[in-house]
Amino acid sequence: MQEASDLLRDVWGGDRNTMPAPLLRALAHSGNYVVGLFEGQRMVGASVAFFEAPARRAMHSHITGVHPDLQGHGIGRALKQHQREWALARDVGHISWTFDPLVARNAHFNLRVLGARVTEYLPDQYGPMDDGINSGDESDRVMVSWALAAPPAPTPAPESVVATVAVPHDIETMRRDNAADAAQWRVRVRDAFLGHLTHGLVVGGFDDSQGYLFVRR
């Protein structure tokens, strides 16, 4: 538990409150999902999820992290597939989680690779965060739901796309190099996203060059 806590702290830029070891122990002891992925004796990834209300037969995946030196090597996908198998074995039909809508690689992974569906846009969901990744920014998040027994949601055909919302290619670097530009992107994406949702559109997928693809219900 301490190794998982340390790993997640390092992934999130040194915040010791990201996932304290006692909390991980309590979640695991009460039957929730607390998993580490190892390369030999070294933990290289960790994931934590907890059950939603019993009638929903769902889990919420709160955090999944991969060692900074090994990101982009399929470890995150391996953790998600393990989480899916673990959940199905316990009669769970859906897993939800949130991610920062400005992080294009996460949108690509969640919507294109896993085929999860966007269910909500949550402005400043967690309030101020003081970790090394989110400090100084508002914590807007997109909520997605992954139907574990269904085929992945396909990327919509071009003719069905009625609006798009672009995001930066690399918001992490922009936050370090030009915080003012990053803040403008936050407001721009939030306003566009919420505007399209208000007008009855839904996110149908993600395209690496165009951003979020909105379709009619």
Give 10-41 pLDDT, tens digit per residue: 888 766 778 999 999 999 999 999 999 999 99
pLDDT at 128: 65
Q: Does position 207 have pLDDT exceeding 80, yes or no?
A: yes
pLDDT at 129: 58
The token duo for 209 is 């060059």
pLDDT at 61: 98
Q: What's the pTM?
A: 0.90
Give 77-132 pLDDT, tens digit per residue: 999 999 999 999 999 999 999 999 999 999 999 999 999 999 999 999 988 656 55
Q: How many other C-beta atoms lie within 10 A of the C-beta of residue 196?
A: 20
pLDDT at 69: 86
Give 122-165 pLDDT, tens digit per residue: 999 988 656 556 556 788 999 999 999 998 888 999 999 999 99
CA–CA separation, 69 and 43 (whole Å): 12
pLDDT at 135: 58
Average pLDDT value for residue range 56-65 = 96
Q: Report how far apart, in Å, the C-alpha atoms of 19 and of each of 44, 62, 87 are.
A: 16, 10, 21
Per the model's pLDDT, the better-predicted residue between 14 and 62 turns out to be 62
